[in-house]
């Protein structure tokens, strides 16, 4: 009798990578014909800056989008934060998360204020009133909350807290264009909110930003401070900055507004495709969005559990990048761990530190096809196999 044995199953073949890099940044672009038409109009008018017709139209349309009395467009969101903090005439400390882009915290310093870092909620990854309250002291001038990933802080709890303690409330809403809280779009919460129209955001102005507020006096101050060019609304005696938005930026942003709803729906589709493609992979967990709310799904964010996956977040990143998937870690290592903020002692922020070691952002946006998403999912599923783990550590 022959000694017949079942041959071992062949090891799964590694998924193919990408010939050209697949970037995280969205770069949602308008139709070329619409772009040319908009810029031909700028050239015909020969009006390039200093509060031209496109900037004025953009401010009106943004106010309508966000459901506020005032939208004040500026050159970028960092300048917007600097301006609003200065326009509120603050002095002292600003409570702010470390889990944010460095510009959030550096804008506090540029405005002549002192940042006080606060840890965040592990589920929403944002400030909460319960975490902020113990940080408020005699020197506290304001709280600066940050909406991230297309979802936001609980603004109503923070409004109630800051009102009771007599401090201002501002939101960095760079990630929150089109997102809602209890059915209401972000833009009208706190004293002011700041949005970004950077090229990688869902609303792409190539660069740009705006401040939204229902405070007419604050808006008048901001319109004066954003430019050295006089307007009918000029408030005398204010320190001013060359932070006005150009007509070119306004044109790009207006074109983006035309397709914002469609872009949000496309983002949602990619998010669902990623989720279904990776669902059940041990050690991979997606950020949940608040039930019943609208998100712009601007970012595809997942967390890695090394104990379940068998790989660290950074090992998974190395594997993805070897396949030309330029996934990124956010907001590593945390602003509190970077100079100059770490020079005088490190704030203890365990939740922030944990998230900075475990989160991954995957590519999304207009240039990322369904086939691209499926291939990225296949690479991540393969990473959870013995062969994938071995390749990641090779």
Active centre residues (catalytic): 201
**What backbone torsions phi and psi does residue 94 show, to the nearest 5 degrees?**
-125, 125
**What backbone torsions phi and psi does residue 280 show, to the nearest 5 degrees?**
90, -5
Please compute, for residue 262, the number of CA atoms within 13 A of its CA located in the half-sphere on the CB side.
Answer: 9
Question: What gap in Å lies between CA 193 and CA 169, rounded to an integer?
Answer: 9
Tokens of 162: 């800051």
Instruction: Please answer whether residues 61 and 253 qualify as being in contact, where contact means their C-beta atoms are separated by less than 8 angstroms.
Output: no
Question: What gap in Å lies between CA 267 and CA 368, rounded to an integer?
Answer: 10
**Residues 367, 368, 369, 371, Cα dihedral to 10°:** 140
Residues 6+ apart with CB under 8 A from 328: 24, 317, 360, 361
Q: Map tokens 């998974």 to a residue.
A: 316
Question: What gap in Å lies between CA 142 and CA 192, rounded to an integer?
Answer: 12
Strand partners, 182: none
Residue among 75, 28, 25 nearest 363 (CA): 25
Instruction: Please answer whether residues 208 and 78 qualify as being in contact, where contact means their C-beta atoms are separated by less than 8 angstroms.
Output: no
Strand partners, 115: 94
Strand partners, 303: 285, 359
SS3 content of the chain, % helix, strand, coil (to 5): 40, 15, 45
Strand partners, 172: 146, 194
**Residues 348, 352, 356, 361, Cα dihedral to 10°:** -170
Length of the chain: 394
Tokens of 235: 């408030």
Question: What gap in Å lies between CA 207 and CA 80, rounded to an integer?
Answer: 12
């Amino acid at each position: 009798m022959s000694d017949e044995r079942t041959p071992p199953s062949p090891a799964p073949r590694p998924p193919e990578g990408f010939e050209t890099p697949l970037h995280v940044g969205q770069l949602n672009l308008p139709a070329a014909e619409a772009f040319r038409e908009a810029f031909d109009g700028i050239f015909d008018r020969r009006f390039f800056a200093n509060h031209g017709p496109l900037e004025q139209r953009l401010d009106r349309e943004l106010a309508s989008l966000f459901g506020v009395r005032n939208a004040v467009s500026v050159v970028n969101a960092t300048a917007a934060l600097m301006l609003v903090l200065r326009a509120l005439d603050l002095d002292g400390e600003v409570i702010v998360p470390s889990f944010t882009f460095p510009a959030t915290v550096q804008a506090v310093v540029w405005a002549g204020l002192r940042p006080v870092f606060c840890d965040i909620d592990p589920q929403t990854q944002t400030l909460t009133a319960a975490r902020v309250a113990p940080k408020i002291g005699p020197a506290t001038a304001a709280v600066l909350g940050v909406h991230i990933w297309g979802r936001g802080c609980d603004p109503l709890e923070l409004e109630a807290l800051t009102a009771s303690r007599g401090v201002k409330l501002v939101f960095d809403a760079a990630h929150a264009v089109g997102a809602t809280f209890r059915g209401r779009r972000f833009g009208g919460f706190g004293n002011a909110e700041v949005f970004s129209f950077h090229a990688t955001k869902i609303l792409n102005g190539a660069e740009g930003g705006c401040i939204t507020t229902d405070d007419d006096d604050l808006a008048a101050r901001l319109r004066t401070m954003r430019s050295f060019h006089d307007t009918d609304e000029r408030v005398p005696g204010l320190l001013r900055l060359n932070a006005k938005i150009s007509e070119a930026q306004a044109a790009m942003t207006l074109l983006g507004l035309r397709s914002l709803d469609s872009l949000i729906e496309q983002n949602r589709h990619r998010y669902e495709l990623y989720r279904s493609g990776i669902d059940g992979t041990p050690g991979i967990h997606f950020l949940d969005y608040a039930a019943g709310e609208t998100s712009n799904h601007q970012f595809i964010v997942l967390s890695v559990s090394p104990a379940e996956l068998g790989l660290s977040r950074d090992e998974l990143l190395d594997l993805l990048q070897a396949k030309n998937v330029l996934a990124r870690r956010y907001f590593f290592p945390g602003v509190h761990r970077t100079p100059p903020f770490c020079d005088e002692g490190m704030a203890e922020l365990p939740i922030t530190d944990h998230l900075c070691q475990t989160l991954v952002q995957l590519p999304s946006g207009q240039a990322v096809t369904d086939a691209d998403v499926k291939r990225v999912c296949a690479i991540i599923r393969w990473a959870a196999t013995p062969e994938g783990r071995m390749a990641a550590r090779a």
